[in-house]
Structure 1
Amino acid sequence: MEAPSRSALFNALPLRLLTLRNRIAMAPMVQQTGLPDGTATEAAAVFYGARAQAGTGLIIVEATAVEPDARCWPGGLGAYLPQHREGLARIASAIRAGGACACLQLVHGGPQASPAVIGGPGWGPSAIPPNSNFPPPRELPRDALSDLQGRFVAAAEMAAEAGFQAVELHGAHGYLLDSFLSPNRNRRADDYGGSIENRLRMLEETVRRTRERLGERLLVGCRVSFFNHAHEGFGHDAFRTILAALERAGCDLLHISCDGWSRTWFDTGRTQGQLAKETVRIPVIVAGSLGDSREAERAVAEGHCDVAAIGRAMKSAPDWAARAHRRLVANRRTGDADPP
């Protein structure tokens, strides 16, 4: 049988404000190329621009702090000081010049903020440390939560002014927004703790406020992860509740960080990507062991995701997307063997 001449990985994807040229995303990864004050350097623009020039459809720039106490590591980027705008604009310009969609991931480290960088413990929903590597965080008072949500909105506004076409709110991996979801780390007695509906309120409201303020200028995405909550009793119902709430709040793109895209969950025999696509109508991005382009193609073609996010493989190979095109499209047309 004749091999197909087109790969599902290279189909365009229409979104609310723009169209991705293909289904390949660069996953956000820490680079630590920023100046001490969080300003992005020219090296960051060159790094991301090279991946865009190679044909990547969506570039999600590394976790960028929304305020000084949000910083997680030395050399991280920021989006809260006036001088941050110029460096971010260089990155966005380099990405867009390469034909990719420029997306900035926004983060508050919360209980996982670096004490060495911020000068003390971080902030959390409760004074419970994430692990033995961090001191107990300071518990956020109820009247500070709206202001923190506003920091994400302000950072998203800076992203729009800098030329980014999308933002992604980091609600994964134990950082502030994710820590509110945790029944072990969120022991609040107010309306931001207790039930799953209350625990997701901080993330849901942050997405809604960002979309309401900037929805005409930016796509608003959200990254979540469930593998780090598996030991906390998260089941299929909680998974569905969280994703459905994010869609109602105005999320345009849902990004699921997995510990292996093909792993099945909740005794359903289906992957997180499949379960997400059964729950929401918005496009789903999946990250996790997709460095082989044939695996990425399979994930999209079989309905596990709409976009495959490539992490370490693209960090080490700027031309990952171009290589994937040769392997999955050009070589199939000519009948050539896979490139090395």
Structure 2
Amino acid sequence: MSHLAEATSIRHTTFKNRIIKAAMSEALANDAGQPSQLHFNLYEAWAKGGLGCAITGNVMVDVRAKNEPGVVVIESERDLAKLQQWAALGKKYGMVQLVQLSHPGRQCPKGLNRETVAPSAVPFSPMLATTFGTPRELREDEILDIIQRFATSAQICEKAGFEGIQLHGAHGYLISQFLSPLTNKRQDQWGGPIENRMRFLLEIYKAVRAATSDQFIISVKLNSADFQRGGISEEEVVAVFKAIDAAGIDLIEVSGGTYEAPAMAGAKAEKRKASTIAREAYFLDFAEKIRKEVKCHLMVTGGFRTVEGMNAALDSGACDFIGIARPLAVETDLTDRLIARQDVRYAVHKIKTGIPMVDKMAIMEIIWYAAQFKDIARGKRPNPKLSPLKVFLKYAKNNITAIIKGQINSRRSA
């Protein structure tokens, strides 16, 4: 029997198989950050395809801090009925759903929000500084407010019927910004040694656990590394994993990279050892190391392409779940096919527009797949040959429109 088909449980929730859809940006919400029928259609397509668990795309905990247009925001019970409808469709097909809760910190395009905030006022690299502005350093009362926002959002998710949440602590978002010495230059209790830099994550976990029931799953996505010189060290990363495990986390997804060094999209794949490439997953070697240090469930995402490789990873004990992201954007029935021992049909490759600055940022690894989601949500078939340039031009146009709208609304509310 394929390990992929094995059922397992976390707390009181049964996962019917070991395949989890990792979070990917859907960009399907309206300007107010509300979920819609398009979200339901998209997730039902994956549920019908046999998926054991789906982690939603980025869901913001603060409407004032959006990472992109079209992102869902949960900060009150305003959309409880819609969230209940979303949660119910997962239960209909036996698909566990975890809501990825996030605050982008400094990773917001210029003009989208009134301002951006971060642990410290650290600017982006010159290549990205034209897109992302220098943030304002957070005050301590604001830090405490954000911690409570995560707890409030999680409480609403449980009330809606979702089985759990995932804290986005990777890819350069706010939790990750606190963890990294590159973006956290603070000298108070939230910065300095790793014990202080991980405080934000641990306090969020404690607040979420206090606001939800014992049966509610709390997971976290963490970087194995920043992949940037001067970033968080491996020793510090291990300390973070051990601390959040000791605090009681249920599941850790192992990932890596930031917008400035997007290893999560395979951007560092060409530098990996041949032995690592043969094992497929980008972060499997690190997962093997961390497996010896933590007791919670582990999930590895990125690079898997064959049933043999996935089963080998599970058999090794390095991880308990296989995370799949981009292949599911063009094969909604991929889970059923993998269970039937059929490999990924469309190999993931670097999406290029032909515009050097855009291609270096690896932003197409997000928005090209989001374009596929829109088609699936509207009842169309995904198109593996979709033009990256056309997708980018449409995205740029919509982004500019959203930013203009946001500026107008900010002036009106000022």
Q: C-alpha deviations, 1:116-162, integer Å up to 9, x for none? A: 3223x311000112442311111101122111100000000111111
Distance 2:231 2:254 in 1: 18
TM-score by length of 2: 0.73
Q: Which moved more, 1:305-314 or 1:216-225?
A: 216-225
Deviation string, structure 1 residues 30-57 (Cα, Å, up to 9, x no partner): 0111111010111111111221222111
- What residue number does 1:332 align with? none
Distance 1:230 1:276, change over 3 A: farther
Q: Secondary structure at the match of 1:222?
A: strand
Do residues 311 (structure 1) and 325 (structure 2) align?
Answer: yes
Partner of 1:129: 123
> Cα offset for 1:292?
3.2
How far, CA to CA, are the matches of 1:233 and 1:35 in structure 2? 36
Which residues of 2 match residues 190-201 of structure 1 at below 5 A?
A: 190-201=188-199
Answer yes or no: is the 8 Å Cα contact 1:66–1:80 preserved in 2.
Answer: yes
Q: Which runs of 5+ in 1 are unaligned?
A: 1-5, 330-340
Output aligned runs, 1:316-335, within 5 Å: 316-327=330-341
State how far apart, in whole Å, the 2-side matches of 1:263 and 1:30 are.
Answer: 27
Aligned to 1:160: 158
Alpha-carbon contact 1:182-1:229 (below 8 Å) kept: no
In structure 2, the residue matched to 1:218 is 216
Specify the SS of the correspondent of 1:271.
Answer: helix
Q: Please say if 1:294 is aligned against 2:308.
A: yes
What is the CA–CA distance in structure 2 between the aligned matches of 1:68 and 1:169, rounded to whole Å? 17
- CA contact under 8 A between 1:273 and 1:305: conserved in structure 2? yes
Whether 1:10 and 2:8 are equivalent positions in the alignment is no
TM-score w.r.t. the length of structure 1 is 0.88
CA-to-aligned-CA distance 1:219-277 (integer Å, 9 cap, x gap): 0000011332442253332121000111122211111114469849xxxx971111221
**Cα separation, 1, equivalents of 2:79 and 2:109:** 20
Q: What is the CA distance between 1:90 and its match in structure 2?
A: 2.2
The CA RMSD over aligned residues, in Å, is: 2.1
| Counterpart pick for 2:176 among 145, 169, 178 | 178
Residue 75 (structure 2) pairs with residue 77 (structure 1): no
Name which of structure 1's ranges 295-304 and 219-228 shifts more when overlaid on structure 2.
295-304
Q: Which piece of structure 1 moves more, 299-308 or 174-183?
A: 299-308
Q: Compare 225-234 and 171-180 and name the one that shifted more.
A: 225-234
Counterpart of 1:227 in 2: which secondary structure? coil
More strand per residue: 1 or 2? Answer: 1
Return the alpha-carbon distance in structure 1 between the equivalents of residues 225 and 237 of structure 2: 11
Is contact 1:23–1:57 with CA below 8 Å preserved after alignment? yes
Q: 1:244 to 1:125 in 2, by over 3 A?
A: same
Contact 1:9 1:297 in 2 (8 A): yes
Check conservation: 1:211, 1:250, Cα contact below 8 A: no
* 8 Å Cα contact 1:79/1:85 also seen in 2: no
Residue 338 of structure 1 corresponds to none
**Deviation for aligned residue 1:286:** 0.8
Size of the alignment, in residue pairs?
319
Does the CA contact (< 8 Å) of 2:22 and 2:323 recur in 1?
yes
Q: Decide which of 237, 240, 243 is 1:239's aligned counterpart.
A: 237
